[in-house]
Amino acid sequence: MELLIVAVFVVGYILIALEHPIHINKTATALLTGVLCWTLFAFSDPTASLLSSQHFIDFLEKLKSSAPNFAALTSSEIHREFVVESLAEHLSEISQILFFLMGAMTIVELVDAHHGFKFITDRITTKNAKTLLWIVCGVTFILSAILDNLTTTIVMVSLIRKIIPNKDMRLFFAGMIIVAANAGGAWSPIGDVTTTMLWIGGQITAVGIVKSLIIPSIVCMIVPLIYLSFTMKGELGEETKVKVEEPSSGYGKLMLFLGVAALISVPIFKTVTHLPPYLGMMLGLGVLWVASELINPNVDDSKKKNYTAAHALTRIDMPSVLFFLGILLAVGALQSMTTLHNFAEFLNHTLGDNRIIITLIGILSAIVDNVPLVAASMGMYDMSVYPPDDMIWEYLAYCAGTGGSLLVIGSAAGVAAMGMVKIDFIWYIKKITLLAAIGYFAGAAAYLIQYSLLH
Amino acid sequence: MEILIIVVFILGYTAIALEHPIKVNKTASAILTGVICWTLFVLADPSASVVESEAFQNFTKHLALEKGIDNFSKFTSSELYKEFVIHSLAEHLSEIAQILFFLMGAMTIVELVDAHHGFRFITDRINTKNPKFLMWIICIVAFFLSAVLDNLTTTIVMVSLVRKLIPDRNMRLLFIGMIVISANAGGAWTPIGDVTTTMLWIGGQITSMNIIQALFIPSLACMIAPLILLSFTLRGNMGEMKSHSSTPEHTVGGGKLMLFLGVAVLVSVPIFKTTTHLPPYVGMLLGLGVLWVVSELIHPDLDETVKKNYTAAGALSRIDVPSVLFFLGILLAVGALESMQVLHHFALTLDTAIGNHSIIISLIGVLSAIVDNVPLVAASMGMYSMDVFPPNHFIWEYLAYCAGTGGSILIIGSAAGVAAMGMEKIDFIWYVKKISLLALLGYGVGAVVYLLLN
């Protein structure tokens, strides 16, 4: 039965990767995979490795002390209890991530609805291609540490669409934005999904991850930039269109300020209260929501609607949220069955070194989604052996965060940019992949050297 | 600190009820209330009632088992308290998330059927011109529809139908008021019909076959009593159609298929739970996954942008996410009160002051018109222990009835009412004048019928 569940998982995973050719949305596949894995798990007989796992023994002890009729329970009833209990535990962890994401996405949408990001992008006016590249990448790097990579990419790519008329040059910039956005997200607990997952799971701490990954992440972006400074040729091209003023609500600056303040205070909230991060995010969302309803008191209701959080909520990417739900449920089933743990031991025996395994995970994340990869790694390695802020967690955050830049389909940022400026898969491999690879390995080397110097 | 949290809770509640006058969306108030309650709870000094509670004792016992005695004794009492708060929050979140993902799944499925105009196969069958007769039909359809679908969706479907059938505004509003009553009554007697009955079912307080048997007749009475009254008093006609609409909107095939599949999926959720013992939201997600795949496969020749409207991805962007977050906030707030043992004490006070469970629960039903019924049921589930009141006990069934139907008394008392208010700009006061009395009559009659049957 365990084999069957692994088979379902693998098939589901392949269908997700083949989303576009087979025309089935990956969220549908992910939901079905998650549900099927748990259904089969509930029907299966417990395996020997499950029965001897520490988690199961702990569960038995608890059940003994809380269920009065423990002696009367059959082994299949106990198994069923165990499955339901494990599912509830996983759901609690998963929904923390999902509500965190929903809150963050809504805050960002709300700032965007008020044209808050214009205050940043309006300031970029240089005409020199190399200077512009440095500025664009620098801004992307900082923005993506605060916002999610997807939004950062959308904001920055729409900027370069306006200021770079030359098509080849524009694609080049878009490629570097992807690299910079992924590098910028990796070192901040609120910057991208995988680092956030590790933070919410307790594998890394906010201060610890910033300290250990900021230098590798900067290296990951700057090395390709330096290389480009020597080799880049070409012009930005002449601007043909006159700028059209977009109507704005007049509160863009306020909302931008509030939004960034809300996002940055999430880690502070966690440190002060010890409550999970999603609550801090919800607090921020609540404050911004009230603010968005109280400003513009004179606008009539139908217009005002566009500027409220209720409207922003209709524009967030709910299919992605449900995709994470499905895929994380599936990974959770494999974790509870101890399959992942066994797989990690197998990898250890064949490859030997965790650093090699994690570097490979990073490269793999260019092909498959990095969220399940990180979720699986979190299940593979036990927190009692690898305590918070251990090298493997930090290195995992770096690799999974930046490895996706290697292919245009490897990260959410890449997929978004692909949709916006029509980047070709092959074009990206020819022009950007090498740059991204240089950055990825330079950053990885920087982390490993930094680690050996400090420990 | 305990008093402060209760004050925050009451203030939050007031802001939710006064959503329209103070112009702050109730979701924002609910989220803030939930977060502030937990923040105050974790920052508070451990109170005696928490430390002495059974939940806290169990928690420390399990922690000692898990960490080993040596590590456990290193915990200071304030660290232990913090750990307990975080642990309770995680447990609440797991339960809350079950309800929210269940709702999200159900809402998406219904949106998907609606996008394919699947409900036309129901609404097209209705073509009478007599308002009294039409009202009976509409209410009965709403009653049975809301038994399968959620009340919110039923209301939305029926209101959009009534908009097409009745041009006269006054008559239409009366119909919509009755739809709210019927939808709430119809939801109360099935485990998937409305949020509160679903909560009791997911919590294990009631079982599906049992609740149907116990509440079907009282719920029917709750709807029929006001209908009979209206049959004698209803005046006026439905008004003239201005232009005979031949509905030139773009439609796609598959409506019948989606309606059939949607209903099949929603109905099989309880079956899935019984077979696998997994929580109902898993079955709902399974159904959503199946419908999603079907919705992508049945339109191979549409181009991507048009097709998006007919897939689950498009349906997801139309579901009411603010109400999902509203539930999150309000359920978190109630969870804090529950873990602080406030509700437990409230129950004991109510118990000793009144003593009679049927009176207490009837009061909760009436109260659910003023405040949201979800936290009230969550509160009641926290108030009464399952050890004393086993599954399918009288109080759980009666609670399902009262909390499900009592909300009709005021327009903001139920999700169905709020949806109707949003769609047709129904005035709070108008509803009090025209509908509240009818709803109260139905509520009372149904309650009496239930109590007599038992």
Instruction: Name the residue with higher pLDDT: A186 or B427.
Output: A186
Residue pointed to by tokens 């642990």: B87
**B416 — pLDDT class (breaks 50, 70, 90):** confident
**A235 — pLDDT class (breaks 50, 70, 90):** confident
Mean predicted lDDT score pLDDT of chain B:
83
Q: What percentage of chain B has pLDDT greater than the value 90?
A: 25
What SS3 class is residue B403? helix
When scoring A44, A273, A317, A384 by the number of chain B Cβ atoms within 10 A, the one with the most, hence best to mutate, is A273
For A245-276, the pLDDT digits (tens) are 555 557 888 888 999 899 888 888 988 898 99
**B250 — pLDDT class (breaks 50, 70, 90):** low
When scoring A89, A258, A307, A322 by the number of chain B Cβ atoms within 10 A, the one with the most, hence best to mutate, is A322
For B323-348, the pLDDT digits (tens) are 788 878 988 988 888 888 777 777 67
Query: Residue B248 has what pLDDT?
Result: 43
When scoring A57, A85, A95 by the number of chain B Cβ atoms within 10 A, the one with the most, hence best to mutate, is A95
Question: Minimal CA–CA distance to B228: which of B447, B6, B442?
Answer: B442
Q: Which amino acid is at B209?
A: M
Nearest to B28 among A280, A290, A325 (CB): A290
Mean predicted confidence (pLDDT) in B25-31: 88
Query: Per the CB < 8 Å rule, is B317 touching A314?
Result: yes
CA-based torsion, A258, A261, A263, A269: positive or negative: negative
The whole-angstrom separation of Cα A308 and Cα B99 is 26
For A61-88, the pLDDT digits (tens) are 888 877 767 777 888 888 888 999 999 9
Question: Minimal CA–CA distance to B413: which of B363, B374, B377?
Answer: B374
pLDDT at A35 over 80: yes
Mean predicted confidence (pLDDT) in A83-97: 91
CB contact, 8 Å: A298 with chain B? no
CB contact, 8 Å: B97 with chain A? yes
**B244 — pLDDT class (breaks 50, 70, 90):** very low
Q: Which amino acid is at A35?
A: V
The DSSP call for residue B248 is -
Query: Residue B246 has what pLDDT?
Result: 45
**A400 — pLDDT class (breaks 50, 70, 90):** very high
Size of interface A-B (CB pairs under 8 A): 175
Name the burial class of residue B309, with classes exposed (0-12), middle (13-18) and buried (19+) by CB atoms within 10 angstroms of its CB.
middle
Query: Per the CB < 8 Å rule, is B43 touching A273?
Result: yes
For B263-276, the pLDDT digits (tens) are 888 778 878 887 88
Query: Per the CB < 8 Å rule, is B31 touching A283?
Result: yes
SS (H, E, C) chain A: CHHHHHHHHHHHHHHHHCHHHHCCCHHHHHHHHHHHHHHHHHHCCCCHHHHCCHHHHHHHHHHHHHCCCHHHCCHHHHHHHHHHHHHHHHHHHHHHHHHHHHHHHHHHHHHHHCCCCHHHHCCCCCCCHHHHHHHHHHHHHHHHHHCCHHHHHHHHHHHHHHHCCCHHHHHHHHHHHHHHHHHHHHCCCCCCHHHHHHHHCCCCCHHHHHHHHHHHHHHHHHHHHHHHHHHCCCCCCCCCCCCCCCCCCCCHHHHHHHHHHHHHHHHHHHHHHCCCHHHHHHHHHHHHHHHHHHCCCCCCHHHHHHHCHHHHHHHCCHHHHHHHHHHHHHHHHHHHCCHHHHHHHHHHHHHCCHHHHHHHHHHHCCCCCHHHHHHHHHHHCCCCCCCCCCHHHHHHHHHHHHHHHHCCCCCHHHHHHHHHHCCCHHHHHHHCHHHHHHHHHHHHHHHHHHHHHHC
Nearest to B313 among A88, A290, A319 (CB): A319
Name the burial class of residue B250, with classes exposed (0-12), middle (13-18) and buried (19+) by CB atoms within 10 angstroms of its CB.
exposed
Question: Which residues are CB-contacts of B322 (< 8 A; sequence separation ≥ 6)?
Answer: A309, A310, A313, B25, B27
Instruction: Name the residue with higher pLDDT: A434 or A338.
Output: A434
Q: Which amino acid is at A447?
A: Y
Mean predicted confidence (pLDDT) in A48-55: 80
- Min Cα distance B277 → chain A (Å) is 8
Answer whether A28's CB lies under 8 Å from B293's CB.
Answer: yes
Distances (CA, A) of B81 to B69, B86, B87: 17, 9, 10
CB contact, 8 Å: A315 with chain B? yes
Query: Residue A381 has what pLDDT?
Result: 85
Residues in chain A: 455
Q: Which amino acid is at B446?
A: G
CB contact, 8 Å: B41 with chain A? no
Give me the residues of A, 34-93, that contact B with CB < 8 A.
Answer: 34-36, 38-39, 42-43, 58, 61-62, 65-66, 80, 83-84, 87-89, 91-93
3-state SS of chain B: helix, strand, coil percent to 5?
80, 0, 20
Query: Residue B347 has what pLDDT?
Result: 67
Nearest to A91 among B89, B97, B311 (CB): B97
Query: Per the CB < 8 Å rule, is B35 touching A66?
Result: no
Question: Which residues are CB-contacts of B57 (< 8 A; sequence separation ≥ 6)?
Answer: none
For A340-359, the pLDDT digits (tens) are 878 878 887 888 788 888 99
Instruction: Name the residue with higher pLDDT: A328 or A70.
Output: A328
Determine which helix (DSSP H) or strand (DSSP E) holds B295, and give its type and residue range: helix B280-297
Which chain A residues contact residue B329 at CB under 8 A? 282, 286
What's the alpha-carbon Rg for chain B, to the nearest Å?
23
Query: Residue B245 has what pLDDT?
Result: 45
Lowest mean pLDDT among A268-272, A409-413, B138-142: A409-413
Query: Residue A104 has what pLDDT?
Result: 87
Answer whether A189's CB lies under 8 Å from A267's CB.
Answer: yes
The DSSP call for residue B47 is P
What's the alpha-carbon Rg for chain A, to the nearest Å?
23
Instruction: Determine the straight-line distance between the first and last CA of chain B, rounded to whole angstroms.
Output: 43
pLDDT at B401 over 90: yes
The whole-angstrom separation of Cα A310 and Cα B322 is 6
Query: Residue A300 has what pLDDT?
Result: 66
Lowest mean pLDDT among A238-247, B251-260, B267-276: A238-247
**A241 — pLDDT class (breaks 50, 70, 90):** low
Question: Which residues are CB-contacts of B174 (< 8 A; sequence separation ≥ 6)?
Answer: B230, B234, B434, B435
User: Which contacts of B351-356 are long-range, i.e. CB under 8 A and separated by 24 or more positions?
Assistant: none
Mean predicted confidence (pLDDT) in B7-14: 88
When scoring A24, A31, A307 by the number of chain B Cβ atoms within 10 A, the one with the most, hence best to mutate, is A31
Distances (CA, A) of A360 to A196, A389, B216: 21, 20, 60
pLDDT at B373 over 90: no
For A130-148, the pLDDT digits (tens) are 889 999 999 999 999 988 7
Question: Which residues are CB-contacts of A65 (< 8 A; sequence separation ≥ 6)?
Answer: B58, B61, B62, B65
Query: Per the CB < 8 Å rule, is A28 touching B312?
Result: yes
Mean predicted lDDT score pLDDT of chain A:
86
Category of A390 on φ-ψ map: left (φ > 0), alpha (ψ -120 to 50) or beta? beta
Answer whether A147's CB lies under 8 Å from A180's CB.
Answer: no
What does pTM read for this prediction?
Answer: 0.83
Answer whether B104's CB lies under 8 Å from B312's CB.
Answer: no
What SS3 class is residue B192? coil
- Min Cα distance B289 → chain A (Å) is 5
**B285 — pLDDT class (breaks 50, 70, 90):** very high
- Min Cα distance A79 → chain B (Å) is 11
The token duo for B32 is 């803030």
Query: Residue B243 has what pLDDT?
Result: 46
What SS3 class is residue B65? helix
